[in-house]
Amino acid sequence: MNGTVLVINSGSSSIKFQLVDPEPGDVLAKGLVERIGEDEGRLSCTAGGETRERTERIADHSAGFALALAELTDSGVLDPDTLTAIGHRVVHGGAVFGEPVLIDDHVVSEIHRLSALAPLHNPANAVGIEILRSTLPGVPEVAVFDTAFFHDLPAAAATFAIDRDVARENRVRRYGFHGTSHQYVSERVADVLGRPLGELRQIVFHLGNGASASAISGGRAQDTTMGMTPLDGLVMGTRSGDIDAGVLFQLHRQAGMKVDELDDLLNRRSGLKGLAGVNDFRALTELIEQGDADAQLAWDVYVHRARKYLGAYLVLLGGVDAITFTAGVGENVPALRAAILQGLEPFGIVVDPDRNASGSGERHIGADGSATALLVIPTDEELAIARAAATLVRGSR
Ligand code: ADP
């Protein structure tokens, strides 16, 4: 059991964990602790083909991690003595972190300091780091930041056109999120195409509950749809994506909505949920099949927004060699991919309907004559985190 990495995604009321053998990329165990702090918490863990579940009160994150580690140890997959590293997903690396880093006291305090930029995420990420530092003190820990891939966005893409002093003082800029996924997928595209990453112009659509697109040239991000927060850009499950900021002033002045209500409106009651009443794409598709007009409009707005960014990024990159879809919706909804790519033959973008409608795993969906490669690449953020952590730890020895 040598060379495994424990990958942790510590959220405000849940902990996702995976034990990964980074090369070749085997998942040895995968689990979730949820409803931390509620009356009834839940642990589920799959290891060796067997899934075990427990329901009990899980008072806090310390109790959650203790349960998860006990489960991994009991099922025989985790031996702390042979753990190479613990890799933590950290949402916000701000302007500070452009790469994965080995965690020390300074890194922990920076992650806390960046909580102002990601108040819902960074504190929970930091709690996970601190608990494992004291529980497994001999195991190196690595932080992998969701923003890191976009750390070096060109200034023209990263800058919002507002008063520069206000922006500077408040660290207002485009940071981008889902970076681990965009980087992993764009690197896989180069492998699948058998072409050097350095010569590819790519557009990646990460369409899950949260959704973002990125423009990548030579392996470096040139722009992305999420902004200072994950609220910007594409239509999402419950988030609005792009909206005229003036709408907020109007809702405040006319409807008396306070800042927390506006936050709730745009982050949790908008997107597909706001337009169609459901945030799950499967439910949306079912409503459309039943003839629901609101669901159809939600679909149309979603597709329109995605196509708008496709066009923008096509111009920004001066042409595109590969367009790739990933995450729950991007990987599983052929009709949506077809709608986003429809009618783009004049740009050398030609879908093959049969390839698009079938298959699983990494695959081509473009027609033989398509100048732009069209692909589906399942994302694997945990594997990317495990590999980044293992590489960093081995390099530091
Ligand atoms: P996140 O990681 O952001 O929570 P996911 O990448 O898991 O999200 O994507 C969740 C979305 O993917 C949901 O809207 C869900 O309905 C959709 N989805 C997942 N599997 C399928 C499927 N087989 N068919 C249609 N939609 C799917």
Equal fold, 4-145 vs 195-381: yes
What tokens were used for 143? 């932080």
Helix (H) or strand (E) holding 330: helix 327-332
Annotated binding-site ranges for ATP: 16, 206-210, 280-282, 328-332
C-alpha of residue 341 to centroid of ligand 1, in Å: 20
User: What pLDDT shows up at residue 2?
Assistant: 56
Give distance in angstroms: CA of 13 to centre of ligand 1: 20
Write the CA distances from 129 to 109, 260, 292, integer angstroms.
11, 29, 46
Q: Please give the structure tokens belonging to residue 370.
A: 């398509």
The minimum-distance atom of ligand 1 relative to the CA of 279 is 14
CB-CB contact of 166 with 186 (8 Å): no
Of 26, 39, 105, 146, which residue is the catalytic one?
146
Q: What is the pLDDT of residue 296?
A: 98
Ligand 1 centroid to 207 CA: how many Å? Answer: 8
Tell me which residues have their CB closer than 6 angstroms to ligand 1.
208-210, 237, 280-282, 327-329, 332-333
Q: What is the pLDDT of residue 82?
A: 84
Of ligand 1's listed atoms, the one at least distance from the Cα of 210 is 3
Task: Say how many Å lie between the CA of residue 329 and the centre of ligand 1.
Answer: 5
Class of 195-381 per CATH? Answer: alpha beta
Q: Compute and round to an integer the Cα radius of gyration of the chain.
A: 21
Q: Domain residues of the chain, as ranges?
A: 4-145, 195-381
Report the C-alpha gap between 390 and 161 in whole angstroms: 40
Q: Which two tokens stand for residue 171?
A: 């660290």
Per-residue pLDDT of the chain (397 residues; tens, 9 = 90+): 458 999 999 999 999 999 999 998 999 999 999 999 999 999 999 998 999 999 999 999 999 999 999 999 999 999 888 899 999 999 999 999 999 999 999 999 999 999 988 888 999 999 999 999 999 999 999 999 999 999 999 999 999 999 999 999 999 999 999 999 999 999 999 999 999 999 999 999 999 999 999 999 999 999 999 999 999 999 999 999 999 999 999 999 999 999 999 999 999 999 999 999 999 999 999 999 999 999 999 999 999 999 999 999 999 999 999 999 999 999 999 999 999 999 999 999 999 999 999 999 999 999 999 999 999 999 999 999 999 999 999 887 7
Pairing of strands 26-34, 373-376: unpaired
Q: Note if 292 is an active site residue.
A: no
Shortest-distance atom of ligand 1 to CA 206 = 6
CATH code of 4-145, in short, is: 3.30.420.40
User: Residue 85 and residue 304: Cα distance in Å, rounded?
Assistant: 43
Q: Which of 54, 18, 62 is nearest to 37 (CA)?
A: 62
DSSP string, 124-167: HHHHHHHHHHHHSTTS-EEEEETTGGGTT--HHHH--SS-HHHH
